[in-house]
Amino acid sequence: MSIIDTSPGMDRLDVAGAGSRIRSIEAIPLIAPFSRLYRDGDVPGWLLQPAASHRTLERKGQYSTLIRVTTEDGVVGVGECYGLPAPRVTAQIVRDIIAPLLIGEDALATDYLWSRVFSSMSGGGQVRGYFLEAISGIDVALWDIKGKVLGLPVHRLLGGPHRDRVEVYASPVPMLDEPGESADYARSFVDAGFHALKLKLGRGTRVDIAHAAAVRQAIGPEVDLYVDLNCAYTADRAVDVVRRLIDLDVTWIEEPVAVDDVAGYRRIRDAFPVTLVNGETLFTRWDFRDYLQAGAVDVVMPNLARAGGITESRKIAALCETFHVDIAPHGVGSAVGLAAALQLSASVPNFRIYEYNRLPNPLRDELATTPFEFSDGMLRVPSGPGLGIELDWSRVDEFRAE
């Protein structure tokens, strides 16, 4: 039966054709240890603890759980689950819980399958964390398959493009020791063609302001300066540091307080004329709903590899549009997560800017067979079928964590 047959009573599998049934789902945990990047194994402290959120759990490398879904016809789709800090955990959830629900199902029925998997566990309280990251990676892989079967990039399947290049900012200037080091690091981003960059803060008002002031002086008044506090402060301390940051023309305040402190966000937003941002630690549209209803944020940053994949992130974007709030997808991950974020960014009207993470990351820079095209503060949206990228599987194998 044709894929465009809409006759009443059709069977879902008939529509897809039996060849689009899911034959296998593989979860591939990846780790790229930072120690491999430094010949003497002496990884600098700023890389182990690039942000306030890594103060108690060092980040020893780049992590990801890749998903590879294959259909009966042999079409392969790839997805990514947010891997930090234990990619093998997500892989086990995929193998034990999710894959058995999906084998033999129609790979093109993305919305149906998302709901089927989510509802399998939501009644038991599994609505966030590793379980949602596992769902996310599989969903992205199914969208990659759908694009490959239909011969179109995901952004066209979603009704785009609204844009064929995506505005990005450089992230992060990590938590370096001296303000002068932060200034030099930030300046290198401007020299590379970025028009906006993000500085990691959360070390106390005095240290934070010293680094922000040095960066502002180094980059001049024309470059947008964003800061990310990674939930380091209580609201009263955040108010103090934000007041001083505004004097440095900081225009973007990200995660100043704990993720569940909606009232704290509201307090800061009411007090200051600044773009208040969160979202990388939120899962599904229901988490975002609470912030939107409270009027607590200006821009949200869903990470597709954890918030629920493309299916759910598109709904999050639509929900935000309803509240006249823009999305600015979070940017930590591999080439697969980057490609997925670019596809979504091209396909929604309320896209603001994408976080182009520049920490050393072979999983982002070395797994795709063709590089992402960056110029003048913009990334080009891949135009090939599906996510628009192909992986070098021999390179993937080099980073397997089991």
Q: Which residues are catalytic?
A: 330
Q: How far apart are CA 311 and CA 314, in angstroms?
A: 6
Instruction: Return the residue nearest Mg ion (CB atom).
Output: 228
CB of 125 to Mg ion, least distance (A): 26
Minimum CB distance to Mg ion smaller for 232 or for 339: 232
The span of 23-31, 54-62, 74-82, 226-234 binding Mg ion (CB under 5 A) equals: 226-234
Q: 299 φ, ψ to 5°?
A: -140, 140
Minimum CB distance to Mg ion smaller for 228 or for 326: 228
The span of 103-111, 220-228, 234-242, 291-299 binding Mg ion (CB under 5 A) equals: 220-228
A 10 A CB-CB count for 129 gives: 14
Minimum CB distance to Mg ion smaller for 209 or for 231: 231
Minimum CB distance to Mg ion smaller for 185 or for 399: 185
CB of 331 to Mg ion, least distance (A): 9
Q: 90 φ, ψ to 5°?
A: -60, -40
Minimum CB distance to Mg ion smaller for 53 or for 334: 53
Q: How far apart are CA 145 and CA 266, in angstroms?
A: 41
Q: How many residues does the chain have?
A: 402
CB of 280 to Mg ion, least distance (A): 5
String of b and e for 188-211 (b: at least 16 CB within 10 Å)?
A: ebbeeebbbbbbbbbeebeebbbb
CB of 47 to Mg ion, least distance (A): 16
The span of 64-72, 225-233, 288-296, 338-346 binding Mg ion (CB under 5 A) equals: 225-233
CB of 309 to Mg ion, least distance (A): 20
Report in angstroms the alpha-carbon separations of 138 from 37, 78, 131, 146, 256: 30, 8, 11, 12, 31
CB of 141 to Mg ion, least distance (A): 25
Size of the site for Mg ion (CB under 5 A): 1
CB of 37 to Mg ion, least distance (A): 22
Minimum CB distance to Mg ion smaller for 228 or for 261: 228
Minimum CB distance to Mg ion smaller for 235 or for 328: 328
The span of 34-42, 150-158, 221-229, 283-291 binding Mg ion (CB under 5 A) equals: 221-229
The span of 55-63, 108-116, 145-153, 222-230 binding Mg ion (CB under 5 A) equals: 222-230
Decide if residue 231 touches Mg ion (CB under 5 A).
Answer: no
Decide if residue 326 touches Mg ion (CB under 5 A).
Answer: no
Task: Tell me which residue has tokens 């993305």.
Answer: 110
Minimum CB distance to Mg ion smaller for 253 or for 387: 253
Decide if residue 228 touches Mg ion (CB under 5 A).
Answer: yes
Beta bridge mates, 228: 200, 254
Q: Which residues bind Mg ion (CB under 5 A)?
A: 228
